[in-house]
Structure 1
Amino acid sequence: MTAVDVDVREAAARVLRSVETVIDGKPEVSAIALTVLIAEGHLLIEDVPGVGKTMLAKALARSVGGSVSRIQFTPDLLPSDVTGVSVYDQASGQFEFKPGSVFANLVIGDEINRASPKTQSALLECMEEGQVTVDGRSWRLPRPFMVVATQNPVEMDGTYALPEAQRDRFTASVSMGYPDAAAELTMLRSREARSPLDDVRPVVSLEELEAMIAAARAIYMSPSVEQYLLALVTATRGHPDLRLGASPRATLQLSRVAKARALLEGRDFVLPDDLASLAVAVLAHRLLPTRQALGRSGGTESEAAAEVVRSIIATTPVPRA
């Protein structure tokens, strides 16, 4: 096997360093965000308010060249505000398409579950097909294209549960969690005068990002590792603790993020560890646990689903070289 392009690895390292100047003490979350970006996926960040969800999304967006758009999801937001609308031009006597906020390389959807399901659904075509259809005509979105959405727990006031079809389009879901004491003290001392976001500048160009994406696509996955991937995903479909298992889309997206992880670690082949380490982030948010599983876990749906995925990883045989 040949080594991956050193310049690509250095570009990825620059993005991580840039994001970590803003997000203190969360290197694993920053790494997953970059991995999803290189895998041409979409990221969902779920947690309570004030732990840095939007800061992570903004830091990633500002670290990469290209256009950035931010959508604040509210109950009165309309689908046309997201996708765009056709407006009649009196001078020309024709309808002219006015692009919505989704027309950008990286779209930040802040508090996505505060908008109605109808408005949330405006992103379905965008995230899956990379295009917008309005009044029977389709417009391509810029490439590369990524949605980084934040949401508050559904138990909080003023939220709507994301539809299953919407959750399935997010490649991975992560939780920020509270920072440890040392990271919070650093944040307290360093952010008195100004926000670290003010100093974030693009550290990779769109061309470099496209090179990273192309390099990730070329990463090799052996037949035995492919079988391991299929075993993890299909185990969710007949599991007694789940009402809904992972879709074929989940299989494809777990493969892509595993290849992106291999690229970031300097390999041109995927290991079973790549799949196992990312399975919870990629699969758990798509699954629906049974009431019995929820009762045993004593937590939320996402926590119960994560427990099931971890049990599947622990009981699925790992292929040997």
Structure 2
Amino acid sequence: MEFETVARAILGNIERVIDGKPEAAEAALVVFLAEGHLLIEDVPGVGKTVLAKALARSVSCSVRRIQFTPDLLPSDITGVSVYNQVDREFEFKPGAVFANIVIGDEINRASPKTQSALLEAMEERQVTVDGTTYALATPFTVVATQNPFEMEGTYALPEAQRDRFMARISMGYPDAAAELAMVQQRDAYNPFDGLSPVATVDDISAMIATARAIHVSSAVEQYVVDLVQATRTDTELRLGASPRATLQLIRAAKARAAVHGRDFVLPDDIDVLAGVVLPHRLIAMRGVSSVEEVVARIVAETPVPAGAVQQR
């Protein structure tokens, strides 16, 4: 297994069904290889669920989909202990979270109580039911979609849950050429029909290990800390990024470097990923229209430490 070959194959698979969105495809792969969780937020109909399904279809692993609705219960996600009258004991029936890739569709349509059922799973890769802890599959990632919270019938995700998502991306509308190609092609065939796995679970596990081993210089680490610290003191932000954000930004940068064929992280990796790793964790002061613009300004104003642009 060659890392770049498999990575290109997965990206190629995703781009077969998502026209004109290479950045979104790469972000999904980077988060997966960094052992993180991905939140895809945008208006209905722009391909959020299609992206999640394309990533899942590209890997030969277990996949479960959860359609979040207002009547969904926490036990539907984590599982429940059921009394077996034959054996006269309780047995655990695993919920939908027991899979390598969990697709949470329209996650913010469920109540906050149901949303919180994912907290332990996303952070600790385990669930606890009736006092017993059950380990989840490895690798494990949650790819969730949500509509903007201003839309009818949605609940805002709790801050603790947003912080557990490594990255949040938006699909955006396709450009005119990509939309025309979709109109001309999708009426005749379903792009998922010919989509087959191009990587096994063992391949992904090996790629994750490779990404973990990517070198990060002390200067780059200092640069990440400086960026995160700046979000906590910026006058336009009421809530800055957490220490978890620092760790996840570095992990994501390692995976991006590996996808781009490098064995070391550059400040450019940090700059690109800061825009998807940090904003959803921040809360702006009243009157500030865009957290993303604040993050872009912080990145532009934060100096890169000497030596951070050099290879090891």
Measured against the shorter chain, the TM-score band is over 0.9
**Following the alignment from structure 2 to structure 1, what is the Cα–Cα distance between the partners of residues 279 and 249?**
12
Pick the aligned partner of 1:305 from 291, 298, 304.
291
Code of the residue aligned with 1:93 in structure 2: it is: R
Find out whether 1:144 has 2:139 as its counterpart: yes
Pick the aligned partner of 2:210 from 189, 209, 215.
215
**Following the alignment from structure 2 to structure 1, what is the Cα–Cα distance between the partners of residues 205 and 236?**
40
Find out whether 1:262 has 2:248 as its counterpart: no
Gaps of 5+ in 1: 1-5, 298-303
Structure 2 counterpart of 1:272:
267
Pick the aligned partner of 2:227 from 222, 226, 232.
232
TM-score (norm 2): 0.97
Pick the aligned partner of 1:191 from 169, 186, 190.
186
**Following the alignment from structure 1 to structure 2, what is the Cα–Cα distance between the partners of residues 102 and 135?**
16
Aligned alpha-carbon RMSD (Å): 0.8
**Following the alignment from structure 2 to structure 1, what is the Cα–Cα distance between the partners of residues 206 and 121?**
23
Give CA-to-partner distance per residue, 1:272-310, whole Å, 9 cap, x none.
1100110010000000001032xxx3xxxxxx1111110
Gaps of 5+ in 2: 308-312
Give CA-to-partner distance per residue, 1:170-202, whole Å, 9 cap, x none.
000000000001100111111113321121111
Code of the residue aligned with 1:8 in structure 2: it is: F
Pick the aligned partner of 2:15 from 20, 27, 32.
20
**Following the alignment from structure 1 to structure 2, what is the Cα–Cα distance between the partners of residues 37 and 260?**
9
Contact conserved, 1:39 with 1:256, CA < 8 A, in 2?
A: yes
Structure 2 counterpart of 1:79:
74
Structure 2 counterpart of 1:110:
105
Structure 2 counterpart of 1:320:
306
Contact conserved, 1:272 with 1:319, CA < 8 A, in 2?
A: no
Structure 2 counterpart of 1:63:
58
Structure 1 counterpart of 2:151:
156
Code of the residue aligned with 2:196 in structure 1: it is: R
The runs of at least 4 aligned residues of structure 1 exceeding 4 Å deviation read: none
Code of the residue aligned with 1:319 in structure 2: it is: P
Pick the aligned partner of 1:252 from 237, 247, 256.
247
Identity %: 67
Code of the residue aligned with 2:86 in structure 1: it is: A
TM-score (norm 1): 0.95
**Following the alignment from structure 1 to structure 2, what is the Cα–Cα distance between the partners of residues 18 and 65?**
13
Code of the residue aligned with 2:291 in structure 1: it is: A
Find out whether 1:40 has 2:26 as its counterpart: no
Structure 1 counterpart of 2:87:
92
Find out whether 1:202 has 2:197 as its counterpart: yes
Structure 2 counterpart of 1:301:
none
Code of the residue aligned with 1:317 in structure 2: it is: P
Kindly state the Cα deviation for residue 20 of structure 1 after the two structures are TM-superposed. 0.3
Give CA-to-partner distance per residue, 1:95-144, whole Å, 9 cap, x none.
00000001000000000000000000000000000001000000000000
Structure 2 counterpart of 1:169:
164
SS at match of 1:85: strand
Give CA-to-partner distance per residue, 1:232-270, whole Å, 9 cap, x none.
011001111111100000000000000001001111111
**Following the alignment from structure 2 to structure 1, what is the Cα–Cα distance between the partners of residues 254 and 4?**
13
**Following the alignment from structure 1 to structure 2, what is the Cα–Cα distance between the partners of residues 209 and 21?**
20
